[in-house]
Amino acid sequence: MASHKDSQFFGGGKSQNALNGNEASHGEWGRSWKIDWFSLISVIFLLSSCPFIVYYFIMSCDQYHCSLSEPAIQLLTGKVHLLDIWDKTPSFSWKILIFYLFWVMFQAFLFMIPDFCHKFIPGFQGGVQEGAISPAGVVLKYEINGLQAWLITHALWFANVYYFQWFSPTIIFDNWIPLMWCTNIVGYFVSIFVWLKAYFFPSNAKDCKFTGNFFYDFMMGIEFNPRLGKWFDFKLFFNGRPGIVGWTLINLSYAAKQQELYGQVTNSMLLLNILQGLYVLDFFWNETWYLKTIDIAHDHFGWYLAWGDCVWLPYLYTLQGLYLVYHPVQLATSYAVGILLLSLVGYYIFRMANHQKDLFRRTDGDCKIWGKKPKYFECTYTSANGTKHYSKLLISGFWGVARHFNYTGDLMGSLAYCLCCGFNHILPYFYIIFMTILLVHRCIRDEHRCSNKYGKDWKRYTDAVPYRLIPGIF
């Protein structure tokens, strides 16, 4: 599902024109115009299976102490029945639905407030910023205020914990399954709303894609940038507010539950909170950069992003913290330092690779990377109206090591989160497994699009940089 983790630049060092050019051809931008049978079957499978996958993981923790195999074995052997598991599952709560709706509305309120952080935080780029050019030729403006929203939210959280005490800091963990029903309700409501909106009142009809297939259009989205009014952008809000801001609060609630149950917070839980907290802060610090990534500049907004951001992200991206509540792990100091170093090296690769590409793009190659003038290929492509365009493919720095080396750094950080949990259960390692599948698929999808766009120039590039993620292996 979509998330911050799914928000990197296209690989291969392409210029912004390659990402979303002013003259995007009829078939290049966004998702497909037509759907084949394999894609349709895949979409139906994901629509029908993903909610059950989330339920299975959370139920495994709640009823089977985080064992993924035990419930399946007991179901297959007839020791338990589905109704037995369902009867033990906490039910929907109107009180929790009101609580969750207040959370979403509060984040929507913060989303609409003009940013003031960029006025006093050196180096932070916030306030009104321009996104990439849409296929209809529209340059949308965004109010970049995610860091501000995160700071206000967490200031209120800690004020409640240490002063107001309106609610327990374990409130998220204590209501985790009732909250799951609420996030599903909101995720499906938003998905249905934007699907209807695309038909009856689209923000820009030229930025819509209809295949005529309900399942595909519902999942992958029809509108490119659905908005209410001038500023409320569905894609940026759901990609970067309730789930991402909530990510660190969820982890804090897990840590509070550890303290309540065991009288201490383990170093593994502290390390996980720090590493994932830094990742979330990095996202908000670079939110302006995020406007030019695949999530905003390429993907349409449908169930894939709406439900994924409401349910998949907060429930499956936080499994490590949930696991550590049930299985507290105290790491050896040397092991904890090793995890920290792995994460920091991965973060450095991830951030510097993207910085090199951004620097190369902004200066049109008139810069230095690793102390030298960058090497690149001059490429051409022709848009739908027959206009010839020029672009550059970077082959210096990290982009000469592998075509998607920023993803490699991302995966190193993802692995570090999982390693905080030890090796007794596979459940917390779902994250690195999922991210590997997701980013490998993204590599292949991106390169297929680039190959169609650049033709023989792309072949020259892949000959010069033969590996996608890991030099000498893949």
Tokens 């029945």: give the residue.
81
Distance CA 4, CA 313 (A): 9
pLDDT tens readout for residues 377-412: 888 887 656 777 788 899 999 999 999 999 999 999
Distance CA 329, CA 335 (A): 12
**Across the chain, how many H-helices and E-strands are there?**
22, 6
pLDDT tens readout for residues 145-174: 999 999 999 999 999 999 999 999 999 999
Q: Quick one: pLDDT at residue 32?
A: 58
- The stretches of 327-419 forming alpha helices (DSSP H) are 333-362, 398-401, 405-419
Tokens 């490119």: give the residue.
224
CB-based burial label for 295 (10 Å; 0-12, 13-18, 19+) = buried
Predicted TM-score (pTM) of this structure = 0.89
Distance CA 402, CA 416 (A): 21
Distance CA 16, CA 424 (A): 45
Q: Quick one: pLDDT at residue 30?
A: 59
Q: Quick one: pLDDT at residue 14?
A: 30
Q: Quick one: pLDDT at residue 15?
A: 29
Stretches in the chain below the pLDDT threshold 50: 2-27
Q: Quick one: pLDDT at residue 358?
A: 86
pLDDT tens readout for residues 225-283: 999 988 899 999 999 999 999 999 999 999 999 999 999 999 999 999 999 999 999 99
Q: Quick one: pLDDT at residue 409?
A: 95
Residue type, 185: I
Residues 6+ apart with CB under 8 A from 396: 356, 369, 370, 372, 374, 375, 376
